[in-house]
Structure 1
Amino acid sequence: MTSSTNPRIVIIGAGVSGISCAVRLLQYGFENVLLLEAEPRIGGRVHTMPFGENVIDLGAQWCHGEKDNIVYELAHKHNLLETTGGVYENYKCIRSNREVVPESISQRLKDIVSDSLVTRQMELRNCNGSLGSYLTNKFYEALGRPENSDIDMAIAREFFENYQKFENSVEASDTLDEVSGRGYLEYWECDGDILLNWKDKGFIEFLRLITKARELANELGILEQHVLLEKRVKQIRWNRNDCCVDIKCDNDDEVIIADHVILTVSLGVLKEQQLTLFDPKLPVEKQRAIDSLAFGTVNKIFIEFPEKFWPDDWTGFTLLWREEDIDEIRGTSRAWLEDVFGFYCVSYQPKILSGWIIGANGRHMETLSEDEVLAGCIFLFRKFLEWDIPEPCNFKTSTWHTNENFRGSYSFRSMYTEEVGTSARELAQPLTIVTSPPLSNGSVASSNALYSQTRCDKPIVQFAGEATSDHYYSTVHGAVEAGWREARRLADFYGVSRNSTKEPKAQL
């Protein structure tokens, strides 16, 4: 079987982007498709696991928006989504002396930052600084208005410090001063509810949907026999004279030969491994894109208690540190707790609170023992809350940075990204080799004007994943669309009509 009639396509990374790409290629009629996944599971940064009375999502958790969101469009047809409600709006603001900020004050502070979110869409177009400097100016400008003169400045400062941590969790940045103000607008927010959850199923339900698998833990649906797990790629030799690619995996003497490689690993992995992964090294413009697009860490903490100790109408709380209290833990072994910014209720998990931690302290938390992390969290509960806090019965954190198959959570646009002047488009650009066009007599290729050419650029190494998305980076729908984009690239190269997709049968 020749490469022109049934090309050998290897997808590195069986996360959402790799899975979406593989499924689409099979639908186009390509048959020789193989996914190599370093983890012992598929899904990548979608990681749903049993916990407590149901499941939790250690990675992607919500469908963000409804309009122009392919995840919503696919899931909505099957009634898989519902609103999370006001959990991340109706939280209590609690100071480190257990003082609950009055609702009349906390709501006005929330309104100030919410107003900043609305106005910045236009004002940031002319911003030459960071998102942090912009939001700081907007917040204190609003705070100085006469109608807000009764707000205690110490409380306002504590609230704004916490709010910046929340925004860092949205961006995956360590500080908002590293986020480009103008670059922030590259992200397009889909209209509609931006916190749609997967009811009692978790985000893995989306993977079941697109692979047509009944139970993803045991079955791969239409990807059955197309996935190899625990296959970590250590080298991609991509400029062979015969227009093929050699792929070598860790602890494996076998060389996998492909006509096309589609790389869907995280930007964090590319940052760490690009100089050793590719032979020869990547072109300078590709290296520059990998270096300057930013990639950060956000982690979650799930704590289950034997019984719910909070009121039924309570959705969670954010931690407002008084200056004298935060000074007490800085410089101690519990300094990392400063960047745990809140704990919130979890849908379909009545006895669980979910905490969030960002940045360098989030990465540091991953290096600590489970006992130490849990003890730190209970310290926070007992310092901030007035209720008697029982000993937890279950505990789990995410560890996205220390896992060498991810090295972080998701991408964003930094001040350095803006300074260098690169974009996701450069990262998404494939490596090509000038070659003869594919023949039109195979099961995949068909007659097309492409074949009248005498020479063409063959995409030999392609790049997908959320970081390659121009406007939907950091999202699952961005990852899906990036996978589809690279499948279309191959379909176009082989002259396959985009309307000729078929439904491959699941191996059930």
Structure 2
Amino acid sequence: MSSPLSFILFIFFQFLFPSSFCSLSNSTHEVIIIGAGASGIAAFSVLAKNKTDVIILEAENRIGGRINTVEFGENVVDLGAQWVHGSKHIGYKLANDFGLITKSNFSLINYCYSNRKEIPNDLIVKFQEISMEILKCQDIQEELTVAEFATEKFKNLTSDLKVPEEFPNLLEDMLENLMHNYIAGLSAFDWNQPSARSDNEDCDENNYNWKGKGYKTILNVLLNKAPYGSDNFEPEKKILLSKNVIKIKSNNSEGIVKIYCNDSTEYKAKRVIFTPSLGVLKAKMNMFHPDLPDHKQRAIKSLGIGGVAKVFLEYSNDWFNKHRKFDVLDLIWDKNLRKSLKNFTTDEGVPWITDLAAILSVDYNPNLLYLWFDGQTIPFIENLSEEDLMDGIQFAMNQFFGHKFDIPKPINILRSKWYTNEHFLGTYSYQTIESRKQPSNKHLGEPLQDQYGKDVIFFAGEATSLDHFSTVHGAIQSGFREADNVLKSL
């Protein structure tokens, strides 16, 4: 007969670890996917439809990874991925087949100068043409950093440009603006880091929004949820949240992969698909046992990942459209102001507020402004108190628009923190000159074998894409790719 203590312990452990949870933990699965971002969900969708015994372990308390749609203002906003870039890829097809997206309008782009001077319209048009020519240039014959290529190209294209005397710093300030456009697109802290040459296939210039429903809609499409599929499909039972993986062991006599989480749970699988970000791989390479092969370690170390920051401001009304409508306000910080700022600086005295590069309107959410920060101060900005962040933003708004508006304080603020979140440690990846000395994206995506020569650990995620890294559609493609590879190996 059981003792009272045994009975109490039995009840205690049943409460902590219900039977369905224990069965997932104790059994050996055909496949375990680590990470429920776009690539993990894409892989899961293929395997689940194939009736494969598959579960996902996700470190966050939600699915989506760097897709994170949240309620804010009168609708939703995307703290991570926001637009579908271009139309010649699987992401566009998945969304467009259900009529989920529509083209965003970025025709109303205005340059705003922090010294409040109105830049002549002909110069604005010329700078836009020059910037687009540099940003879209594909004919780069030698390995240069973005900074080396863009600076030289900008100097050549503006050498004969006549700038009025009242704008003595305009060329230098426009080059600074071009730098922000570059590093925003690349998620780099410094434009001396990325390579000017890239294997990324250029998307067409169109960007598509989700008609106010947010990027999370693509997850429901991938998971075959109604109205995009069957109500009978219940993926939630196979997706375990708040499961932070700390160790992966693949060489053992049982021929299985063992996965250990920081809550002391252990999972076993015949095959594993690892999908966390390049930032996580850089920080936690030692989670793999045995060690990753040298060529994969070199790929992880040489590829780049940085961060950008989004800040959403909600106002009681759309005061900012009363002067004139806009889609994007491209901010140009005057050199004298950049160098003289004493407030709104990092501990090292570097101004962080001048890394505010653009202000955008928000589709389907009329009382919101969306602020875009990029550059080396992103880690500092993410750690700022909300009060200090708002003080800097109010300063910037007054500096640029205080002579035109009585600028109110927002009633709510929401911001992203991708770089300082240990489950991401960055936004999206880019190629460096060093990474291009070997096929780094290819090496990153190659599987690991066990002691019997079987492929057992597979790698997906945007950074493993050969030609669409840094994008959601690249992540989705990689998930489909590795799911197919796993099915072939089982």
Name the TM-score, length of structure 2 as normaliser: 0.88
For the pair 1:461 / 2:420, whether they are aligned, the reply is: no
- Counterpart in the other structure of 1:402: 420
Q: Which one is further off, 134-143 or 55-64? A: 134-143
- Indicate yes or no: 2:360 matched with 1:348: no
Give the deviation of 1:422 after TM superposition: 4.0
1:339 is the counterpart of 2:355: yes
Shift of 1:319: 2.1
Q: Identity over aligned residues, as a percent?
A: 33
Whether the 8 Å contact between 1:75 and 1:81 is mirrored in structure 2 is yes
Counterpart among 38, 56, 62 of residue 41 in structure 1: 62
SS in 2 for 1:492: helix
1:310 Cα deviation from its structure 2 partner: 2.1
Residues 215 and 374 of structure 1: is their aligned pair in 2 closer, same or farther, counting only changes over 3 Å?
farther
Q: Which amino acid aligns with 2:280?
A: V
In the TM superposition, what whole-angstrom CA distance separates every residue of 1:141-178 from its partner, at most 9, and x where no partner exists? 11113xx2245452122122112112101001112221
Tell me, in whole angstroms, the C-alpha distance in 2 between the residues paired with 1:197 and 1:221.
27
Establish whether residue 20 from structure 1 lines up as the match of residue 38 from structure 2: no
* AA partner of residue 149 (structure 1): K
- Write out aligned runs for 1:196-215 (5 A): 196-214=208-226
Distance in 2, Cα, partners of 1:331 & 1:80: 44
Counterparts of residues 304-319 of structure 1 (less than 5 Å): 304-311=314-321, 312-319=324-331
Helix, strand or coil at the partner of 2:376: helix
TM-score, with structure 1 as normaliser: 0.85
**Is residue 491 of structure 1 aligned with residue 452 of structure 2?**
no
Pair 1:478-2:471 in alignment: no
Could you list the structure 1 runs, at least 4 aligned residues long, displaced by more than 3 angstroms after superposition.
150-153, 219-222, 330-334
1:77-476 correspondence runs (5 A): 77-86=97-106, 90-118=108-136, 120-122=137-139, 124=140, 126-145=141-160, 148-150=161-163, 152=167, 154-182=169-197, 184=198, 186-191=199-204, 193=206, 195-214=207-226, 221-252=233-264, 254-275=265-286, 277-311=287-321, 312-329=324-341, 333=345, 335-385=351-401, 386=403, 387-418=405-436, 420-433=437-450, 435=452, 457-476=453-472
Residue identity opposite 1:70 in structure 2: I
Q: Aligned partners of 1:412 and 1:63: how far apart in 2?
A: 18
> Are residues 84 and 330 of structure 1, via their aligned partners in 2, closer, same or farther at CA, if it must alter by over 3 Å?
farther
Q: Is the 8 A contact 2:108 2:325 kept in 1?
A: no
- Give, in whole Å, the separation in 2 of the partners of 1:416 and 1:460: 29
Query: In 2 relative to 1, CA 354–475 (structure 1 residues): closer, same or farther, beyond 3 Å?
Result: same
Deviation at 1:358, TM superposition (A): 1.4
Q: What's the counterpart of residue 443 of structure 1?
A: none
Aligned pair in 2 of structure 1 residues 331, 395: CA closer, same or farther (>3 Å)? closer
Deviation at 1:117, TM superposition (A): 3.4
Unaligned runs of 5+ in 2: 1-22
Give the deviation of 1:248 after TM superposition: 0.7
The Cα RMSD (Å) is 2.1
- Determine the C-alpha separation between the residues in 2 that align with 1:382 and 1:191: 36
Q: CA deviation at 1:434?
A: 5.9
**Contact kept in structure 1, 2:362 and 2:369, CA below 8 Å:** yes
Shift of 1:104: 2.0
